[in-house]
Amino acid sequence: MSAAPFAIDVEGLTKRFGNRTVVDGFSLQVPTGQIYGFLGPNGSGKTTTIRMLCGLLTPDAGRGTCLGYDILRESELIKREVGYMTQRFSLYEDLSIAENLEFVARMYRVPGRAARVEQALERLGLGARRAQLAGTLSGGWKQRLALAACLLHEPKLLLLDEPTAGVDPGARRDFWDHIHDLAHHGMTVLVSTHYMDEAERCHALAYIAYGKLLAHGTARQVIEAAGLSTWSIEGNDLMELARDLRRRAGVEMVVPFGEALHVSGRDAAALAATMAPLATRAELRVREAEPGLEDVFIHLMQGLPDAAAAARRP
């Protein structure tokens, strides 16, 4: 099959479990060779969407393609060309690293199995630990093993479901170096994450909440589309100030960021007028700041109180 311009091209995907709609009219296009970040709170429908894309779940409505294959009629063909790394480590803990990779290679009927396993061991730096039982590995090494297993059959699309949860910063950095190397060589990657620094390392982003796509594009496009004006305040007794600010004109969101408050709203003039008298107070350091992804995503979530309540209901 010839290469499609979009590795993922879906429209109106919907999935219900009983009377609860988990994914609601989801549409997305992911260009081939991109790293696409998939963000959203727990229970937002990210994992369900990923499973529909790779053929593990059938949508109740919607249409589209993954790697050029129809997601409704050709799910078995999609599975052969997708590497899917789940949230939880899913390999055998009582087998060694090499034994796990050999088992996965047999499942996929990988040609030249022994050579391919050796390549995977070396590529992910696992060669020296090949005989170590998977159950004795740290989170970062388990992550490497899981990624190696996903790559054995040379997939065209890699679906990573919160792959760095519970992994230390050094291992996270190494993991992302591997991901960028894969994308550089033409692989498409869809990765769900809760970490804003990881989101900023993606070529583009999609933000989903309670089954609906709320924002998508590059990090800069997502920030600009939100239309937020943001100010930073540093000083003493900030929590008391935060309570007061939430009642002021132009203030839609007040969030602590380390030793500062980020105060945001969409009415830039009203917010600037509220900040003006604070800027004259000697004990405060007040400045206009660039809104970040975290500011935008917190703001998006604040606009969905009814959806959030519905999502929490059994």
Q: Which amino acid is at 305?
A: P
Phi-psi map region of 224: left, alpha, beta (phi>0 left; psi -120 to 50 alpha): alpha
DSSP string covering 236-258, please? SSHHHHHHHHTTSTT--EEEEET
Phi-psi region of 171 (alpha: psi -120 to 50; beta: other; left: phi over 0): alpha
Amino acid present at 42: N
Q: Where in the chain do CATH 3.30.70 domains reside?
A: 229-290
Give the per-residue pLDDT at 2: 42
* 47: nearest Cα among 143, 160, 150, 135: 160
CATH fold group of domain 229-290: Alpha-Beta Plaits (3.30.70)
Q: What is the pLDDT of residue 197?
A: 86
Q: What pTM value is reported for the model?
A: 0.85
Q: Please identify which residue in the block is written with the tokens 């790697």.
A: 67
Q: Residues of CATH 3.40.50.300 domain(s) within the chain?
A: 6-222
Tell me the Cα Rg of the chain.
Answer: 22
Q: For each of the chain's 314 residues, which pLDDT tens digit applies? A: 445 689 999 999 999 999 999 999 999 999 999 999 999 888 889 999 999 998 899 999 999 999 999 999 999 999 999 999 988 888 999 999 999 999 999 998 999 999 999 999 998 899 999 999 999 998 889 989 999 999 999 999 999 988 888 788 888 888 899 999 999 999 999 999 888 888 999 999 999 988 889 999 999 999 999 999 999 999 988 999 999 999 999 999 999 988 899 999 999 999 999 999 999 999 999 999 999 998 998 888 876 655 444 444 44
Q: Could you write out the DSSP letters of every residue in the chain?
A: -PPPSEEEEEEEEEEEETTEEEEEEEEEEEETT-EEEEE--TTSSHHHHHHHHTTSS--SEEEEEETTEETTT-HHHHHHTEEEE-SS--S-TTSBHHHHHHHHHHHTT-TTHHHHHHHHHHHTT-GGGTTSBGGGS-HHHHHHHHHHHHHTT--SEEEEESTTTT--HHHHHHHHHHHHHHHHTT-EEEEE-S-HHHHTTSSEEEEEETTEEEEEE-HHHHHHHHT-EEEEEEESSHHHHHHHHTTSTT--EEEEETTEEEEEES-HHHHHHHHHHHHT-TTEEEEEE---HHHHHHHHHHT-HHHHHHHH--
Contact status, residue 68 vs residue 113, Cβ threshold 8 Å: no
Superfamily of domain 6-222: P-loop containing nucleotide triphosphate hydrolases (3.40.50.300)
Let me know: does 63 contact 12? Beta carbons within 8 Å: yes
Half-sphere exposure of 124 (CA within 13 A, CB side): 29
Distances (CA, A) of 138 to 96, 135, 141, 277: 14, 8, 5, 52
Q: Which residues contact 279 (CB under 8 A, 6 or more apart)?
A: 286
Beta pairing, strands 69-70 & 61-66: antiparallel
- Position 1 scores a pLDDT of 46
- Please give the single-letter amino acid code of residue 127: G
CB 158 within 8 A of CB 190: yes
Distance CA 107, CA 298 (A): 42
